[in-house]
Amino acid sequence: MSAKIYYDSDANLDVLGGKTIVFLGFGNQGAAQAQNLRDSGIPNDKIIVANRPDSYAEDAKSKGFNVEHNFANAAKQADVVFLLIPDQVQPRVFNTEIAPNLKDDAAIVVASGYNVFFKLLNFKPSQDVVMVAPRMIGSSVRSLFVKGKGFPCFVSTEQDGTGKALEIALALSRVIGATKAGAIASSAREETAMDLFAEQALWPNIIMLFREAFSVLKEAGCSDEALCYEMWMSKEPAEIFERAAEDGFIQQLKHHSTVSQYGQLNGALALDGTAAREHFKNILYNQVLNGKFQKEFSKIEDDLEKEGDENPLNILYKKSEASELGQAEKRVRARLAGLL
């Protein structure tokens, strides 16, 4: 399956003419996207940053943006609203303060599929809902734009209330700088599935593999210092992934020694992936796509703001750091403090 890729030439900016564009949030993505959009020629008096009165609002003001602290007032003026506040607070803020005040034909833009895929936001059928989801942190969205370069991005229409949702999505993608390198046609489902799968299946396995490998090598007599450096502190894994992005997932192996290439290719082919595949499918279908994780997560969301052991994330950190790997790293870092 190959996806359609949209470039600058696919986007018609006329569709944004005269529209008032509201950025809800001026954090990682909000600050970057609002500045890119303005530098692409959208007049400053057509841009409103909606933010509570604090340092984010001050930052927006210092960059010359019109800031509105009252979200209802901002929503009333919006023809387009970018939801660029953290995903976990979007349903409450959007459904109570933004949605009741939005125009019937407004376009709502999300940068992540989660709340749309799990139907946590209340839209009117007459409104447009689009996803413009950069695959980069905000500072890179901005710095690549300033250098005249594009950045990878997913784009989709999730609800086409006006019949112009795709046109609007592409025009917005272009003014934030996303169609320069090509924006990939995607969907909230695809983005959410891949994101949550990586977080709940792929990376937990990678963490587990490092944890177990550490213990096996330690038992075989390797020192904590040598292991920490060998496995990650030398930044070799980071370099491997950098090369994978540049040269190819498999082709990057050619930068390694012949012994290493042989060992890695032969070892990976010899491993039977059946059990891993079943495990991955189970997570994807029975935890991610069926909404089980989303329901469980929404029950603990409020606890994630708490302090100490009342916060489930703190408990997970404590347990993870109790592993042999976690304890050893703490000792090594304390010993090498100042040298790292």
Q: Distance (Å, rounded) from C-alpha 295 to C-alpha 309? A: 22
What minimum distance in Å lies between the beta carbon of 295 and ligand NDP? Answer: 19
Tell which one of 54, 272, 305, 309 touches ligand NDP (CB under 6 A).
54
Tell which one of 7, 8, 19, 27 touches ligand NDP (CB under 6 A).
27
User: Is position 152 an interface residue for ligand NDP (rule: CB under 6 A)?
Assistant: no
Site stretch for ligand NDP (CB under 6 A), options 47-55, 219-227, 238-246, 261-269: 47-55
Which is it for the CA torsion 247, 196, 181, 156, positive or negative?
positive
User: Is position 192 an interface residue for ligand NDP (rule: CB under 6 A)?
Assistant: no
Site stretch for ligand NDP (CB under 6 A), options 49-57, 168-176, 220-228, 253-261: 49-57
User: Is position 93 an interface residue for ligand NDP (rule: CB under 6 A)?
Assistant: yes
Q: Please state, in angstroms and as integers, the Cα–Cα distance from residue 322 to each residue in 214, 223, 334, following that order.
A: 13, 18, 16
70 contact partners, CB below 8 Å, separation of at least 6: none
Tell which one of 74, 133, 184, 288 touches ligand NDP (CB under 6 A).
133
What minimum distance in Å lies between the beta carbon of 52 and ligand NDP? Answer: 4
What minimum distance in Å lies between the beta carbon of 106 and ligand NDP? Answer: 18
User: Is position 150 an interface residue for ligand NDP (rule: CB under 6 A)?
Assistant: no
Q: Please state, in angstroms and as integers, the Cα–Cα distance from residue 195 to each residue in 120, 188, 295, following that order.
A: 17, 10, 17
Q: Distance (Å, rounded) from C-alpha 25 to C-alpha 163? A: 27
Q: Distance (Å, rounded) from C-alpha 295 to C-alpha 292? A: 5
Cβ proximity to ligand NDP: between 25 and 161 the closer is 25
CB of 175 closer than 8 Å to CB of 36: yes
Tell which one of 61, 63, 73, 87 touches ligand NDP (CB under 6 A).
87
User: Among 53, 193, 171, 35, which residue's Cα sits nearest to residue 118?
Assistant: 193
User: Is position 26 an interface residue for ligand NDP (rule: CB under 6 A)?
Assistant: yes
User: Is position 51 an interface residue for ligand NDP (rule: CB under 6 A)?
Assistant: yes
CB of 53 closer than 8 Å to CB of 135: no
Tell which one of 11, 85, 108, 184 touches ligand NDP (CB under 6 A).
85
Site stretch for ligand NDP (CB under 6 A), options 20-28, 209-217, 288-296, 329-337: 20-28
What minimum distance in Å lies between the beta carbon of 48 and ligand NDP? Answer: 13
Supply 279's token pair. Answer: 């495990």
User: Is position 98 an interface residue for ligand NDP (rule: CB under 6 A)?
Assistant: no
What minimum distance in Å lies between the beta carbon of 297 and ligand NDP? Answer: 14
Residue 319 phi/psi, 5° resolution? -65, -40
What minimum distance in Å lies between the beta carbon of 60 and ligand NDP? Answer: 8
User: Among 123, 114, 193, which residue's Cα sits nearest to residue 165?
Assistant: 123
Tell which one of 4, 52, 330, 335 touches ligand NDP (CB under 6 A).
52
Supply 282's token pair. Answer: 């189970």
DSSP readout, 4-62? Answer: -EE-GGG--GGGGTT--EEEE--SHHHHHHHHHHHHTT--GGGEEEE--SSHHHHHHHH
Q: Distance (Å, rounded) from C-alpha 77 to C-alpha 72? A: 9
Cβ proximity to ligand NDP: between 252 and 311 the closer is 311
Chain residues binding ligand NDP by CB under 6 A are 25-30, 51-52, 54, 56, 84-87, 89, 93, 111-112, 133-134, 137-138
